[in-house]
């Protein structure tokens, strides 16, 4: 399935293709503050519809995940990093998808605070 998403002001827009079978709620210091619900997919299944330069990047801790956010409205629509196998991955904030119903998405909880 093809989904579209954006930050609040629309400066960052994207498409993501795949099946949303669950969302991940992480309790690490950044995810708990953002309140994001993450869907992981291969990076090549995320296509930016706006210039990559429009998104700002925040790195912290081990500097391995690019937390991408809009410098205008502050919304964090996605992140980029590598999966355990080393392949490029994207983490889509499900809350930024358009016309998407979160009610039926099973949520997995991850203890990122202890990782």
Mind listing the pLDDT tens digit for each residue in 87-108?
999 999 999 999 999 999 999 9
What pTM did the predictor assign?
Answer: 0.93
Cα–Cα dist 63/58, whole Å: 9
For residue 28, the enclosing domain spans: 2-110
Mind listing the pLDDT tens digit for each residue in 29-81?
888 999 999 999 999 999 999 999 999 999 988 888 999 999 999 999 999 99
Confirm whether 90 is domain-assigned: yes
> Could you tell me the pLDDT band of residue 11, with boundaries at 50, 70 and 90?
very high
- Mean pLDDT of the region 16-24: 97
**Torsion on CA atoms 32, 34, 38, 42, rounded to nearest 10:** -120
Confirm whether 78 is domain-assigned: yes
Q: What is the per-residue pLDDT for 69?
A: 97
The CATH code of the domain that includes 23 is 2.170.150.70
Confirm whether 115 is domain-assigned: no
Do 58 and 71 meet the contact criterion of CB atoms below 8 Å apart? no
User: How would DSSP label each residue in the chain?
Assistant: -EEEEE-SSSSSEEEEES----EEEE-SHHHHHHT--EEEEEGGGEEESS-GGGSEEE--TTS-SEEEE-TTT----EEEEE-TTS-EEEEEEGGGBTT--GGG--EEEE-TTT-
Confirm whether 67 is domain-assigned: yes
Number of domains in the chain: 1
């Amino acid at each position: 399935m093809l989904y579209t998403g954006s930050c609040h002001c629309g400066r960052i827009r994207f498409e993501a293709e795949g099946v949303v079978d669950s969302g991940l709620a992480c309790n690490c210091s950044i995810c708990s503050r953002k309140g994001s619900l993450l869907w992981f997919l291969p990076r090549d299944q995320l296509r930016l519809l706006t210039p990559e330069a429009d998104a700002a990047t925040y790195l912290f801790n081990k500097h391995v995940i690019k937390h991408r956010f809009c410098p205008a409205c502050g919304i964090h629509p996605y992140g980029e990093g590598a999966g355990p196998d080393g392949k490029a991955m994207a983490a889509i904030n499900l809350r930024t998808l358009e016309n998407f119903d979160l009610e039926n998405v099973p949520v997995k909880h991850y203890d990122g605070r202890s990782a």
